[in-house]
Amino acid sequence: MSDARLWLERIRELPIPDGIRIMNVCGGHERSISMAGLRTALPPAIRLIPGPGCPVCICPEEDIYQAIRLGLEGEAVVATFGDMLRVPVNLGRQAVRTLEQAKAAGADIRPIASPIEARIIAEKAAGKPVVLFAVGFETTMAPVAALMAEGLPDNLYILCSGRLTWPAVKLLLDSDECVLDALVAPGHVATVMGPEEWAFVADDYRLPVAIAGFTPASLLRAIHSTIVQWLEETPRLDNCYPEAVKPGGNPKAREFLDRSFDVAAGNWRGIGPIAASAYALKPGFAAHDARLHFPDYDAGDRRHAGEMPAGCDCARVVLGRIQPDECRIYGKPCSPRSPVGPCMVSDEGACRIWWAAGVRK
Ligand code: SF4
């Protein structure tokens, strides 16, 4: 019997009297769960809820707007991760609402797979300003921090939209509308930051929490752990991904993060501001801070307009308050071919993942 089958059988043997709501924070987890069909394989009393684990989905709308302006009006080369190119901002029927459309309109927008590519682009740009639009959680921001710590070319600037994951989970737990009874914590983040970062879920909120890897077996093991903790009323942090997640995390990556970034309050699209949830460039990197260097292209009045597109339920999906197929426009008109909200754009967005897994209304 495979490990996944074994854990599934163990879960099925558990006496689950009522429904239990287990949130998985990570887009990678959601992809594994959906593609392996774990929701239909598990007993119906277990409700798996995708959480705010897609950095593209929660990237402030005003930051995307600023990146578009930097490319179109500031004549900077804008390098960013591919998923960001199709995320729309709220500009009504205006022709340019995404970085992809800005590129079609003549802006020099470069999709990249790794931050190091931004340095290569800058070195070849003959002094032309290059902006790395850095969007991501801890695992993505660690390589950005390493790039910065190793020294940046004079013409390379960072538009930083990095976020930390645990403050968003804390916000959910503090909410009157808390939607989870247990948490499957993100394995990649814990690999960088250490498992200890997730202990607050059990210590402060008395809820089960288990860190999972990305295989169905690892996820099922973590799900089993949270249900046992819940049944026995013994919440604790269980590291179910010990082969990758070590106490203290990755010291080198954490050192780079500490050297390059401060932690500040940050806006999350669809959620709003969250205290101590955003990476901000240390003052020593001010010469490379795109927000300081290009103030004319600041989002200005749009700074507090960072809502989801009209008619879209992404905010409620991101907060786990509804499942993707409960959105009013899931599939019609919102689909990967014509995404309305960011959750249908990104490979880590719950709506796109559910659509790719064949979930239809
Ligand atoms: Fe947003 Fe589209 Fe998902 Fe609705 S279906 S929540 S509009 S991405």
> What is the rounded average pLDDT for all residues in the chain?
94
How big is the CA angle at 84 (ends 135 and 300), to the nearest 5 degrees?
70
Q: Which two tokens stand for residue 241?
A: 């991904």
Q: Whose CA is nearest to atom 6 of ligand 1?
A: 314
Q: Whose CA is nearest to atom 5 of ligand 1?
A: 330
Q: Is the per-residue pLDDT at 301 higher than 70?
A: no
Instruction: Give residue 329 CA to ligand 1 midpoint distance, Å.
Output: 7
**Ligand 1, pocket residues at CB < 6 Å:** 312-314, 317, 324, 327, 329-330, 334, 340-341, 343-344, 351
Q: Which two tokens stand for residue 257?
A: 């993060």
Topology of domain 1-327, CATH: Rossmann fold (3.40.50)
* Of 57-61, 104-108, 121-125, 294-298, minimum mean pLDDT range: 294-298
User: In angstroms, how far is CA 253 from the centroid of its own chain?
Assistant: 18
Counting from 1 in the atom list of ligand 1, the atom nearest the Cα of 313 is 6
Counting from 1 in the atom list of ligand 1, the atom nearest the Cα of 317 is 6
User: In angstroms, how far is CA 65 from the centroid of its own chain?
Assistant: 19
Instruction: Give residue 298 CA to ligand 1 midpoint distance, Å.
Output: 27
Helix (H) or strand (E) holding 274: strand 272-281
Instruction: Give residue 124 CA to ligand 1 midpoint distance, Å.
Output: 39
Q: Whose CA is nearest to atom 3 of ligand 1?
A: 351
Counting from 1 in the atom list of ligand 1, the atom nearest the Cα of 316 is 6
The predicted pLDDT at position 303 comes to 62
The predicted pLDDT at position 96 comes to 87
Counting from 1 in the atom list of ligand 1, the atom nearest the Cα of 309 is 7
Longest Cα pair distance anywhere in the chain, in angstroms?
Answer: 66
Spatial separation of the C-alpha atoms in residues 219 and 225, rounded to whole Å = 10
Instruction: Give residue 340 CA to ligand 1 midpoint distance, Å.
Output: 6
- The pLDDT tens digits for 257-271 are 999 999 999 999 988
Domain range annotation of the chain: 1-327
Residue type, 106: G
Instruction: Give residue 288 CA to ligand 1 midpoint distance, Å.
Output: 35
- The pLDDT tens digits for 304-358 are 556 788 788 999 999 999 999 999 999 999 999 999 999 999 999 999 999 999 9
Determine contact, residues 250/257, Cβ cutoff 8 Å. Answer: no
Instruction: Give residue 39 CA to ligand 1 midpoint distance, Å.
Output: 20
Instruction: Give residue 358 CA to ligand 1 midpoint distance, Å.
Output: 15
ipTM over 0.90: yes
